[in-house]
Homo-oligomer: A and B are copies of this chain.
Amino acid sequence: SVPQKLAEALSSQYGLNVFVAGLLLLLAWAVHASGVGKSHLLCFLTALMLLQLLWMLWYVRHSSSHRRLIRLKDTEAGARWLRGSITLFAVITIILGCLKIGYFVGFSECLSATEGVFPVTHAVHTLLQVYFLWGHAKDVIQSFKTLERFGVIHSVFTNLLLWANSVLNESKHQLNEHKERLITLGFGNISIVLDDHTPPCNCTPPTFCSAISQGVYYLYPFNIEYQILASTMLYVLWKNVGRKVDSHQHRKIQFKFHGVMVGLVLGVTVLAATIGVVVVYLIQIGRSKTKSESALIMFYLYAITLLMLMGAAGLVGIQIYRIDEKSLDESKNPARKLDVDLLVGTAFGSWLISWGSILAIFCAESCPPYTWYNLPYSVLVIVEKYIQNLFIIESTHREPEKLSEDIRTLRVVTVCTGNATSLTSFSLKRGAVAGDVTPQGSKMPPAVNGNTCLREGCGKEEEERSREGALGPACHPRFLQGNAKRRVLRNITAFLFLCNISLWIPPAFGCRPEYDNGLEETVFGFEPWIIVVNLAMPFSIFYRMHAAASLFEVYCRI
């Protein structure tokens, strides 16, 4: 019974406080605060997850018992491919949980029970949450708003805290590896203390435990993506609580491989090359000074080439959009707004690192030659993200173009085939009056289109296919230009998608020239630069995955 705005503030402030409390526990653990053990942190996280589990169970029960009531859906939220990728990441998260349970069993002598309870709870939590997101990510909650709002925001921040926890573990691991490399290379001037959290007893089968603790770190990047993805989906669900949704927005996103060979082949080549570069880098780095330098040079040269290609592709895409000016779709859409904010916001992280590198290069008293590759690399990282964000923002706001394209297509159909003209034009006019952006269905009789067919999908694929079939090869000339444009855009998007996946790999799996370069550390000092990188890197990594997800969506829309 509280007004929308107030209920939002009530719940968001609650969520922020939970988040702050958790962040401070994480900080306390990270800096080895006296009196704060890992068990306190895990207790807190477990409690949060259990609370969320209870709420999700209540919500699922409650909504299944009210299934007959018509429930509004936000069709833009929780797309199928998003739920698919979250399932994939969740599976890896559960495997990670199993490994952690194995680790606990191995060290069970000296680990507290919470270290065993946490991964079990986390696995159950992951399972139920994926089930929940599959069933309810599109819900637009209109009843019992207060309890549901609190539940959703609690889930958002629980996932964010789990994300922060994973990020912290991963950062500590990367930092330790970096310190070990520095020790190997003989940098004695920096006081290096390994940040060790290994338990104070022996594991019963020692090889088993060391295998697990090594293997765990290859799975962390996926777990990190899972948590952040889950919290963004839940955040959209929260923004949708009590929202008034216009019912005109059920466009089915379709995935077609047709005509994107160039983009795909280039992208897959980049993906393979990146994996190769990362493997070589990880083998070479820290072995000796010359090997480290050659690994760095190789990485920089490769990244410079790739970023230039990506920037060029993005520029071409923007230019194509600029040729035919259209007003953009500015309608309210929480999912899209979040996507755009996240793109710009998380790019901030990598801009921070890049500007730090640029500053370091100009201020350093002596620059070894290989560090000069760092300059174009850093500049290109900034420019490429700038361009790519513009391209994605323009693409995701280009909804209405589809409509006019389809009208043009329909006109061609009408002119060429010459049948059903009256019906087509009639339903087209009707669609235009109602402001309907789904002209795919406009060849259906008005009665079917109007009322009974409110669910997603609804046999439109067949319609689409039959219409495409009706377009004989003789009818192309009129809209070839639009189609060619679309194909170029689709190739660009596919290429950029695979490039972003590729660029996600190096930092996520420990190929971080920002550490190994050494220049920034000498300018800013070891501690300050490590803090900057550790704060900014998670966002920089997330940017790549998020950009890939956005580009996938763009691809399906073009």
Chain A interface (Cβ < 8 Å from any Cβ of B) = 1-6, 9-10, 12-13, 16-17, 20-21, 23-25, 27-28, 31-36, 40, 322, 325-328, 330, 340, 344, 347-348, 351-352, 355-356, 358-359, 363-365, 382, 386, 389-390, 393-394, 397, 522-525, 528, 531-532
Contact = CB atoms under 8 A, between A and B. Distances in A.
A365 B34 contact: yes
Given A363-B28, A523-B28, A351 B20 contact: yes
A325 B6 CA distance: 12
B10 A390 contact: yes
Given A27-B532, A382-B17, A523-B28, A3 B397 contact: yes
**Number of copies of this chain in the oligomer?**
2
A355 B33 contact: no
Contacts of A528: 27, 31, 33
Contact of A3 (B9, B327, B386): B327
Given A16-B344, A356-B24, A359-B24, A33 B3 contact: no
10 contacts: A2-B322, A3-B326, A5-B394, A6-B397, A17-B351, A20-B348, A20-B355, A21-B358, A21-B359, A34-B363
Nearest to A22: B355
B386 A13 contact: yes
Nearest to A10: B390
A328 B5 contact: yes
Q: Which secondary structure dominates where chain A touches chain B?
A: helix
Nearest to A392: B9
Given A36-B523, A363-B35, A528-B31, A351 B16 contact: yes
B344 A28 contact: no
A393 B9 contact: yes
A151 to B, nearest CB: 19
Contacts of A382: 17
Nearest to A350: B20
Given A33-B525, A364-B35, A528-B31, A390 B25 contact: no
Contact of A523 (B6, B33, B524): B33
Contacts of A351: 16-17, 20
Contacts of A340: 9
